[in-house]
Amino acid sequence: MRFLTTLMWMAIAVVCAIFSVRNWNNVTLDMWGPLQADIKVPLLMAIMFLLGFVPIWLVMRGKLWAARRKLIALERPIVTPAPPPLPTEETPVQGSSDD
C-alpha cells in the first residue's frame, strides 16, 4: 500500500512538472492603480493553491488538537478524592452524673 501511495505522489509530481514546463509564461496581474506585476503561471497557481489550502489546513489542525486534548482527558483514569474525615466530637455520656 505504501508503494501505491508513493507511486501516486510521483505521478502527481510528474504531471505538475510537465504543466510547469509547458506553461512557463509570464502573466501580467493588474494591481491597484497603475501597478502591475509579471509572474510566471506555475508560481501564480502555487500561490493560489496555498492561499486556499493553508487556512483550511490550520482549521483542521486546530480541531484535531482540540479533539486529542478531549480524548486524553477522557482516557485519564478518574480519581475520586478521598472523603473528608468525619468530625470527632466528644459528647458527654448521658446518665452518669457526679452531683
What's the predicted TM-score (pTM) here? 0.64
pLDDT at 65: 97
For the chain, what are the domain ranges?
2-75
Predicted confidence at residue 77, as pLDDT, reads: 77
Instruction: Please list the pLDDT of the chain residue by residue as tens digits (99 residues).
Output: 899 999 999 999 999 999 999 999 999 999 988 999 999 999 999 999 999 999 999 999 999 999 999 999 888 877 777 888 888 777 766 766 555
Query: pLDDT at position 99, please?
Result: 53
Q: What is the DSSP string of the chain?
A: -HHHHHHHHHHHHHHHHHHHHHT--EEEEE-STT-EEEEEHHHHHHHHHHHHHHHHHHHHHHHHHHHHHHHHHHHSPP-PPPPPPPP----PPTT----
Residue from 39, 34, 35 nearest 24 by CA = 39
